[in-house]
Amino acid sequence: MNKALIVLIAILNLASAGALASPRAEQGWQWIEQGALVVDVRTPQEFQAGHLDDAINFPLSDLAQHFANIDKQQAIVVYCRSGARSGRAYDYLISQGFTQVHNAGGFEEMQQSR
């Protein structure tokens, strides 16, 4: 009986792990694998504490300056700590004519999806 219970718990844990995956983070990874520019919109201090591989730090407060010379057709994945700032960055970039932008959510959310 105990062995069956352990197996059942293990199966439920595996099934729930997939359910916790974030669709927006998963899609962000797909874009990244296809060559999208990865932009962390957190503060430089947050970025220094940890960031995704190949990410560049364009803080939300400086987006206009950083994106002034970037092709509006460039695929871009934005993320932050929780998804709120990256949501604002997404809205800003779309309003400026960028056509391929994805809000992948938060840093931890992205890490948990990998």
pTM to 2 decimal places: 0.83
User: Which CATH number goes with the domain that contains 35?
Assistant: 3.40.250.10
Sign of CA dihedral 66, 69, 72, 76: negative
| Number of domains the chain contains | 1
- Give a yes or no: residue 27 inside a domain: yes
Sheet of strand 37-40: strand arrangement: 56-57, 37-40, 76-80, 101-106
Q: Supply the range of the domain harboring residue 91.
A: 22-112
- pLDDT given at position 21: 80
Domain contains 1: no
- Ranges of residues in the chain with a pLDDT under 70 are 1-20
Q: Kindly list the catalytic residues.
A: 80
Specify the pairing of strand 37-40 against strand 101-106. unpaired
DSSP state for residue 34 in the 8-state scheme = T
